[in-house]
Amino acid sequence: MKGSAMNIGPELLPVFQQLGIYEEFLTIGKHLKHTLGFTVSLKSLKPAQGTQTTSLLAFISTTSSSDRYPLKRSIGHRVLNVTEEDEKVIVHLSNNSTFKGDIVVGADGTYSAVHQRMYEQLKSKEELPKSDQEELPFSCTCLVGQTKALDPELFPIVKERYCQFLTVLGDNKPFTWSILSIAHGTLCWSVIHHLNEKTSKKVMEQRFRNNDNAEWGAYPAQIMCEETRNFPILLNDDKKHTLGDIYDLSAKELISKVMLEEKVFTTWHSGHAVTAMHDAIALANLLYVMPTRTSQNFTKLFEEYQAERHSAVTEAFKSSQLMSKFMEKGVIGAIILFILSHIPFWLWKLMLAMTVRCHPQIGYLEPIALFGSVVCIVSHSEQKARYVFEKQQKQV
């Protein structure tokens, strides 16, 4: 998503080391030590021990990394359909061209053409569970953007060694907004609009007018900018700032408005198509050890992939829901915010440990030694790939 920053936790760092991009990654990111929360009057919330982190986190801007690692490789044509023929999957494009392969992976979530065509075909055959046919639940929209490189003398926040993550809770406003200092002297920002039943319905109607896509165009984003530009922010200096000051320093092409939807689907695969938003590493490990490329073996592989990842995805989904509640308005948000602000540090560390138990590695590359006190979950897909890899290495 253009204009956004990405939070990379310690779980993926071993994979970066395996791929030889770890050192370069450190140059395009900033470590995050803690987050700070404020009221709309910019009064600091009670220093919650729960806002501290004991793990290495980093924020990278999409513009910093996209030169070498493109966000997408576009051929300029929409995917119209995905069909199967003679043990192959065929992708049909809007320019009448086709691509043929063994499998097709949808990695763009709900709005992936792979996901949509797969679900349409299953629904027509009455094989799609009712839970996967329901409207996607969402309770907020999000405006994100990134500034140009800022003068460190005018904006000393960008000189800070660690990422400054400053969040303002809107009190009586249905908004929460954050500022993040990232690498190369820029700031990323986000504004979350918390929806009620009435506003959620209005946004749903807007979605259908935007071809059922997750992202709006420039005009709706600009409207939200105008609506929120007077909201106060902190930049770690003695000056008064508003979101409008940051908007004016951000290129329009780096501002996006999106819907934030959360749902764990029951159906992950069908035939030679699979969705892999959840863990491409596990899928790659299983593909590495697959004996022959047949429909039967692909189905077995996809089932094994889903069996390994489903519980972890569900756990992460529930954790994400809980942690996002403190930003919501109303009684529930107030209660959760109070709990997070008074939680003992030992309990917070225990909660953090639960989130970093999975350290996947690519089983067919040299392993990286793990450090830390948290006992990691065993990845069966990695073990299988590791066994085959080491066996092949001995034969060389």
Token pair in block for residue 248 = 């004016």
Region 89-104: mean pLDDT is 88
pLDDT at residue number 208: 47
Domain 5-69+138-261, second-level architecture: 2-Layer Sandwich (3.30)
Lowest mean pLDDT among 3-7, 137-141, 371-375: 3-7
Lowest mean pLDDT among 52-66, 207-221, 233-247: 52-66
What distance in Å separates the CA atoms of residue 65 and residue 1, rounded to the nearest whole number? 13
pLDDT at residue number 11: 82
Q: Mean of the per-residue pLDDT values for the chain? A: 79
What distance in Å separates the CA atoms of residue 188 and residue 223, rounded to the nearest whole number? 19
CA-closest candidate to residue 235, choices 382, 42, 371: 42
**DSSP states along 201-267:** HHHHHHHHHTTT-SB--HHHHHHHHHHHTT-EE--SSSS-EEHHHHHTTEEEEEEEEEEEE----S-
pLDDT at 39 over 60: yes
pLDDT at 274 over 60: no
Question: What are the residue boundaries of the structural domains of the chain, listed by start?
Answer: 5-69+138-261
Q: Which residue has the higher pLDDT, 226 or 63?
A: 226
Asked if residues 181 and 173 have their Cβ atoms less than 8 Å apart, the reply is no
**Tokens 């970066």 appear where?**
16
Biggest CA-to-CA distance, the chain: 68
Burial class (CB in 10 A: 0-12, 13-18, 19+), 204: middle
pLDDT at 319 over 60: yes
